[in-house]
Structure 1
């Protein structure tokens, strides 16, 4: 079958990119043709045209005399910052870019199934417009099955407005199968949207370590053995990292350069980020997907709770594998957590098998339905 996947825009977020790659790979291995429907990337001017000569001059001065030698002078900063991650996206992910006008019911004739997921596709602050991630662009005349795989609300409470709940409730009840990434999501679906949902693994956990190692065969080693991937850095986290590095006698290396930090440094390639998990003896992070990949690569990790980005994601993931003790408070840290990897890997195999079984079963049902028509 030809399956259209609707997920968040792919840009510099490693977890977002790799969950899209993983779900696509799983579906392709099942024999399906897959495309991610994505909004067309447009780099809008950051300044009026008349002001650009002054902007370029200022950048040139910063580049030559301000120590920011990597800063692009003429290229759009947003294009520059994603130059490496875009290479991975366009190489490994099947995409169909769509303008706003092209998100319409005519897409139904091009695909057999529409699948929403994964990641925080049902969190209003990230999913814009929200109704698109409930397939509002399809009308009732088409018979295309609608599926949600490992969709996430991001938090334990639904952040929808009253009007969004009304609209999305109607849309979600048209889905043939709904699955969510967090256990709390099953309760939200039942209580607020009136649908039953299964609890499944994030797509990245459906692939093995060996699957990811194939992506980094030619990648150079990292410059350290303490992987640091912090999305929201603070002076407290900086101090904590330096203390851990000293006490554990490890060399930290950073795998995150955000647009908000230094425009002169593009986000590192996806392969660099993955290689970090191979080389690390310990990982410090406040990222959900960094925790996921620490589990996949069987590397000890310290998770610093990131309440701004949603704590429920961490609780659900770590509860699943008996790893709640890896989520720490900086003010009461008691040492690097011990992890029983045999127990974790056994649980991972069980949950992976169940999640894949659910997905295969649903898609087989649709295939049989098409065959009988």
Structure 2
């Protein structure tokens, strides 16, 4: 069977490319030929553009000279960022089954005939989050209108797209209602998304797990090994001994405060994903790491502190104790993930919550400086097991296996209904 997937696959974001890889590889393991329709709209790719013109010159010679010199300066100053971009592009072009890149859905429709596929899938990630895509896009709803009424029209399903919000504007609801009609089967990643969409279609809506759940740990191990990654120390000779891996998306002060306090209390150094030094006890940065190296560095950590959904997923997959700070704007998927695996107690919004005094009347009434002193005093009295509460990973694995089986079942059901 030939399957086409459309998802966000070009962002230099670990979770983005690894969820695309996971869905692709699961279907390949099932014996199918899989293509990723390489949709790279500016709204996604421009976020990761390394060079932007700052000055425009009237003559091409001056413009080209200026651009060349400025690029050279940026490459020197932002070496890690450029190295990361090169590794991501290699992953996107070599590991993901992508072909020619398309900037618009019209370009895809001109170059792909959906009837070349037996099944089309809207993949996961936040493809239905209008804040991320700057407006809902027909591309992510597989709107191949030109062949919709012809015989043998290809079946279409969604697998675990995320909406990322708990309400829809009227215009978004109208858009969704129209384009959900394109699908033969619908699934989403969060229960809140299923509840939002249930009033917009008569079709049943299944809640399934993120694609990264579809694969086993061994599948990711083979990916890391194929990349040549061996140990954290091989990536950076300073990455010796136990460490806390800190992966922070955006400027989240709470992640930094929690990780810094834990590092100080436990005497463990930090490695982190920002280019600039952030922590007092820091071994270095993994700002240049590609997707495979990211997995290997999570695997090598003693603890993980993050506000990233997928860093949390891989910490759990590799049995690494962790603290996750919920995303300030889109917390639902983290809440759902940790609740489904029975480890919701590892979701901490603030340092005061980590040490368990955030609801004390005395703490609430205290000034900022007094609160900081109370937190430091409390954290110094806590043991390692009190800070990182032990996790029953046998229970986590059992729940994970059930979620994997359930999600694989949805895909197997969809595949069984395709007439080849």
Q: Normalising TM by the smaller chain, what interval?
A: 0.7 to 0.9
Residues of 2 paired with 1:104 and 1:59: CA distance?
35
Check conservation: 2:177, 2:201, Cα contact below 8 A. Answer: yes
Give 2:266's aligned residue. 248
1:318 to 338, 348, 353: 338
Give 1:83's aligned residue. 86
Does residue 98 (structure 1) correspond to residue 102 (structure 2)? The answer is yes
Give 2:405's aligned residue. 353
Give 2:326's aligned residue. 305
Q: What is the TM-score normalised by the length of structure 1? A: 0.85
Alignment of 1:223-302 (within 5 A): 223=239, 225-256=243-274, 267-302=288-323
Does residue 134 (structure 1) correspond to residue 137 (structure 2)? The answer is no
Residues of 1 paired with 2:174 and 2:52: CA distance?
36
Question: Structure 1 234/204 Cα, relative in aligned 2: closer, same or farther at 3 Å?
Answer: closer
Question: Structure 1 256/172 Cα, relative in aligned 2: closer, same or farther at 3 Å?
Answer: farther
2:132 alignment partner, SS class: coil
Question: Structure 1 55/174 Cα, relative in aligned 2: closer, same or farther at 3 Å?
Answer: closer
Alignment of 1:64-83 (within 5 A): 69-71=76-78, 82-83=85-86
Q: Mind listing any 5+ residue stretches in structure 2 that lack a counterpart?
A: 233-238, 277-285, 356-386
Residues of 1 paired with 2:211 and 2:254: CA distance?
32
Question: Structure 1 256/363 Cα, relative in aligned 2: closer, same or farther at 3 Å?
Answer: farther
Question: Structure 1 266/288 Cα, relative in aligned 2: closer, same or farther at 3 Å?
Answer: closer
Residues of 2 paired with 1:15 and 1:36: CA distance?
16
1:221 to 231, 246, 270: 231
Check conservation: 1:216, 1:275, Cα contact below 8 A. Answer: yes
1:104 alignment partner, SS class: helix
What is the CA deviation profile of residues 97-120 of structure 1, one whole-angstrom value per residue up to 9, with x for unaligned ones?
A: 234232327522321211001111
Check conservation: 1:282, 1:299, Cα contact below 8 A. Answer: yes
Give 1:53's aligned residue. 65
Residues of 1 paired with 2:207 and 2:201: CA distance?
16
Q: Mind listing any 5+ residue stretches in structure 1 that lack a counterpart?
A: 259-264
Instruction: Give the stretch that moved more between structures: 93-102 or 298-307.
Output: 93-102
Check conservation: 1:83, 1:266, Cα contact below 8 A. Answer: no
Residues of 1 paired with 2:182 and 2:39: CA distance?
23
Residues of 2 paired with 1:350 and 1:153: CA distance?
24
Residues of 2 paired with 1:235 and 1:170: CA distance?
40
1:11 alignment partner, SS class: coil
2:159 alignment partner, SS class: strand
Give 2:348's aligned residue. 328
Query: In the TM superposition, what is the alpha-carbon distance from 1:70 to its structure 2 partner?
Result: 4.6
Check conservation: 1:104, 1:138, Cα contact below 8 A. Answer: no
1:210 to 213, 218, 224: 218
2:415 to 350, 363, 366: 363
1:192 alignment partner, SS class: coil
Check conservation: 2:274, 2:287, Cα contact below 8 A. Answer: no
Instruction: Give the stretch that moved more between structures: 176-185 or 280-289.
Output: 176-185
Residues of 1 paired with 2:332 and 2:188: CA distance?
13
Check conservation: 1:150, 1:203, Cα contact below 8 A. Answer: yes
1:175 to 167, 183, 191: 183
1:307 alignment partner, SS class: coil
Check conservation: 1:189, 1:195, Cα contact below 8 A. Answer: no
Query: In the TM superposition, what is the alpha-carbon distance from 1:181 to its structure 2 partner?
Result: 0.8
1:115 alignment partner, SS class: strand
